[in-house]
Amino acid sequence: MMIKKTKKIVYSSLGLLLFFCSLQKPLAQETEQPELYLNFGFYKVDQDKRASYELLMTDFFGPLMQKRVDEGCLSNWIFRRVLPNSSLYGEFTHMTIDVMIRGEEGYWDCDAQLQEVFPGLSPKIRKHLSEEKNSLRELVHRVRTQYVAGYNSLEKVPPIAVYNLSKTKSNLYEAKHRDGFADFFAEGSNTVAWHAMKRIDSTAWAKWEWDYITADCYETVEQMREAASFSEERNQYYKEKYGPSKDQRDILLRAETRLVFATEKINDSQE
């Protein structure tokens, strides 16, 4: 009789345990955020065309991207100019960044058009503007990335951003960034924002192609030159757990950029 009673208690306890576990699973899934994707465009514009190109992008295509953000097609859109002292200045002169809605890898269903933003423009003018944009620039590269970690202490897109294009040597670099690295960087560096993204397009697998990008963001160029002061204890933690940075990645290229245009909606990733 005692054995039967004990079995009932065990089965009852097991049933309760399974019940509570089944309750906890959906709760854990609800707290997980969908992945965030960012698409980068790298362009080269001749010196004598840059003023016209930037005017076209800020006064016509910028408002179009703003409408796409307002309609929920995009989370953000950013247009940057590469500074002349950057090592990548000879490779490309401008960048665009499409920040997707979380969980979405593109905005193919968005039907916002230039005529909706500027209804007074004739079809011929709209066609001319689109053709002019493509004639003023040379597409160097388009890249797809997935957001890893980061922070932004401003309520806007930072004016200055330094992009480090790296080739990872192992998955330890990404693992380190997911291990509270954004808080460590925010406390010790002179940046106002920092972001890490891994490249997910097929070209990233090429032997000498970069596959990871970080963005160090500042309010001014002068702030960019200031020295950082990281916690020695936390720095040691990352070294012991993940090893030195030089064993995790090689920085292949670096681009110092200045913001030209950004949409006004504040979202969870402001490059």
Where do the structural domains in the chain lie, given as residue ranges?
37-260
Residue 25: is its pLDDT beyond 70? no
Which of 220, 167, 229 lies closest to 198 in space, CA to CA? 167
Average pLDDT over residues 242-251: 94
Average pLDDT over residues 250-270: 82
Share of the chain above pLDDT 90, in %: 65
Residue 184, CA atoms < 13 Å, CB-side half-sphere: 16
Residue 204: per-residue pLDDT = 65
Residue 31: per-residue pLDDT = 56
Q: 84 near 257, Cβ under 8 Å? A: no
Question: How high does pLDDT run on average in the chain?
Answer: 85
Residue 20: is its pLDDT beyond 50? no
Residue 215 burial class via C-beta count within 10 angstroms: exposed 0-12, middle 13-18, buried 19 and up = buried
The amino acid at 201: D
Residue 114: per-residue pLDDT = 76
**pTM of this prediction?**
0.83
For residue 63, the tally of other CB atoms under 10 A from its CB is: 16
Residue 88: per-residue pLDDT = 82
Q: What are the tens digits of pLDDT across the range 116-149? A: 888 888 889 888 988 999 999 999 999 999 999 9
- Residue 85 has which token pair? 């002292």
DSSP codes joined into one string, the chain: -HHHHHHHHHHHHHHHHHHHHHHHHHHHHHHSPPP-EEEEEEEE--GGGHHHHHHHIIIIIHHHHHHHHHTTS-SEEEEEEE-TTSTTTTT-SEEEEEEPPTT-S--TT----HHHH-TTS-HHHHHHHHHHHHHH-EEEEEEEEEEEEEEE-SSS--SEEEEEEEEESSTHHHHHHHTTHHHHHHHHSS-SEEEEEEE-SGGGGSTTS--EEEEEEESSHHHHTSPP---HHHHHHHHHHH--GGGTEEEEEEEEEEEEEE-S---S---
Q: Which CATH architecture has domain 37-260?
A: 2-Layer Sandwich (3.30)
Residue 108: is its pLDDT beyond 50? yes
- Residue 143 has which token pair? 């890249």
Residue 170: per-residue pLDDT = 93
pLDDT band at 32 (very low <50, low <70, confident <90, very high): confident
Average pLDDT over residues 221-230: 89
**What is the C-alpha to C-alpha distance for residues 148 and 192, in angstroms, rounded to an integer?**
18
Residue 271: is its pLDDT beyond 80? no
Q: What are the tens digits of pLDDT across the range 50-84? A: 999 999 999 999 999 999 999 899 999 999 999 99
Residue 207: per-residue pLDDT = 63
Q: 155 near 248, Cβ under 8 Å? A: no
For residue 104, the tally of other CB atoms under 10 A from its CB is: 17
Q: What are the tens digits of pLDDT across the range 75-87? A: 999 999 999 988 7
Q: List C-alpha distances in Å: 91 to 10, 55, 74, 139, 174.
A: 69, 22, 28, 11, 27
Q: 195 near 150, Cβ under 8 Å? A: yes
For the chain, the first-to-last Cα distance in angstroms comes to 69
Q: What are the tens digits of pLDDT across the range 142-182? A: 999 999 999 999 989 999 999 999 999 999 999 999 999 99
Residue 102: per-residue pLDDT = 94
